[in-house]
Amino acid sequence: MQVVHGLDPASAREWDALVAATAGTDVNQLTAWARVRATVGYSAHHLLVREGGAVVAGAQLLLRARVGPAGLAYLPSGPVISASVADRAAVVEVLADALAGWSNPVRPLFVQPPDGGEDVSAALAARGFRRSEAGVAPAGTLRLDLAVGEEALRAGLGRRLRYWTGKWAERGVAVRRGDERDLGLLSELMAHTARHQGYEPLPRHYVEAFYGELAPGGHAVVFVGEVDGRPVAADLLTGCGGVIKGRLGGFDRSGPAGKLSVPGAMRWTAIRWAREQGYRWFDFGGIDAEMLADLLAGRSENEESWPGADRAKLSFGGTAYAYPPAVERVAAPARWAYDAARHSETGRRLLSTATERLRGARPGHGGPAQQK
C-alpha cells in the first residue's frame, strides 16, 4: 500500500472515476470541484492510496491561505475509500496517519467524513482530533429513498403537495430542464431569495463556474419553474455516488407565483427525473441541527421552532439522516484563540460566517444553496 501526494493527469482521471463510482460520495471530492473553489481563493492537495498500482482511496483537501493569522485545510466528504478494498481498516489507518500530518500550529484541519465514514472519525480522534462544533458541514439532512415506484413517492408527499401535483398544469405551472443559458436567470432568482431571507447571494461568476465545471461530467443539472411561460424559480442540483442533492436555488415569490408552490413543482419534477436516471437517494441539502436531533429521537413537540425552509422539506416524505461526526485538529496557540471565540457571541458570529464561506454557502440560507 502506497500513499502518493499530488495528481498527474492520469491519476486525476483515476481519482474522479473512483469518486463517481463510490456510493455516498459527493461532488466536492471531484477535481472539478477544486476548480470551482479555486475561483474563490482555494487550492487543492491530493492524497492517493494505491494498492497493486490502482487508486483505491484518497482525499482532496481544500486549502485556504490568509484566513486569520495563517490558513486552514478542509476535507469535505472525504476521504473516499473504494468498496472493493480487501482491508478497509488498514486503509483507514494509512489515511488517518497521512491526514494527521496536515495539521500544524498555523494550519488547522477540519474533516467531514462521507457516508459510512464513522471509522474515519474514530481513527482521527485516536490521533488527537476532536469532534468539531465549527459547522463546516450540516450535521445531517433529509433523504428520500428513490428505489420505490413513483406512486409510492407520490403517496409519501404531504397532503398539500399531493393536491398540487394534479393542479400545477391547469394553473399554468410548468417545469423544464435548464442549461448554461439559464445561469443568469438562476443568479437573479438567487438574489431575490437572498433579499427575502437577508443574506448575501453567491456571485454570478461562482454560479457559472459551479455549473460549467460539473455539468460536462453529468454531475450538475438545472430545473426552471415557470408560470404562464414566465420563469420564477430555478434549482441547481448535483449528483454523485448515487445521491442527487439540492445545492443552489432561487425564487421570485412576487405576484401570483407566490401562491402556486412553484418550488414544490420543481422539486417534484427533479425527484421523478432522478429516479428515472437511476439515483438511489434524493438529498435535500442539509437541515438544522436541533431539528435533526428531534427527528432522530422521534420528537415532534418542537416542530414550530424548526426553520420553515427545513420543515417544507419534510413534505416530500424524506427521512432524517445524520452524517458521520465532523472532526477537527487545531493546534496551540491557535486552539486557544479559537476556543475563546466559540464562547463569545461576537466570536461565534464571526466563526459562523467563516465556516459558511468555507462551505461555499451564505449565512442565513436554510434552502438548497447550502453546500458541504
pLDDT digit string, tens, across residues 173-226: 999 999 999 999 999 999 999 998 888 899 999 999 999 999 999 999 999 999
pLDDT of residue 302: 85
Domains and CATH numbers, the chain: 2-137+324-331 (3.40.630.30), 141-320 (3.40.630.30)
Task: Say whether pLDDT at 369 is over 90.
Answer: no
CA 289 to CA 134: how far, in whole Å? 12
pLDDT digit string, tens, across residues 31-63: 999 999 999 999 999 999 999 999 999 999 999
Q: Are 175 and 223 in contact (CB under 8 A)?
A: yes
The residues, ordered by sequence, that sit 6+ positions from 181 with a Cβ below 8 Å of its Cβ are: none
> b vs e for 313-347, b when ≥16 Cβ sit within 10 Å of the residue's Cβ?
bbbbbbebbebbbbbbbbeeebeeebeebeeeeee
Task: Say whether pLDDT at 285 is over 90.
Answer: no
Task: Say whether pLDDT at 151 is over 80.
Answer: yes
Q: Are 248 and 207 in contact (CB under 8 A)?
A: yes
CA 138 to CA 242: how far, in whole Å? 19
Please report, rounded to a whole number, the percentage of residues in the chain having pLDDT higher than 70.
87
Q: 336: pLDDT confidence band, cut at 50, 70 and 90?
A: very low
Q: 356: pLDDT confidence band, cut at 50, 70 and 90?
A: low
Q: What is the mean pLDDT of residues 16-28?
A: 97
Q: In this structure, what are the phi and psi dihedrals at residue 120, rounded to the nearest 5 degrees?
A: -70, -45
CA 343 to CA 301: how far, in whole Å? 29
pLDDT digit string, tens, across residues 59-95: 999 998 655 445 788 999 999 999 999 999 999 999 9
All cell numbers assigned to 342: 466559540
Please report, rounded to a whole number, the percentage of residues in the chain having pLDDT higher than 90.
73
CA 282 to CA 313: how far, in whole Å? 11
Packing angle, helices 204-214 and 183-197, rounded to 10: 130
pLDDT of residue 269: 98
Q: What is the pTM of this model?
A: 0.89
- Beta 243-251 vs 281-283: how paired, if at all? parallel
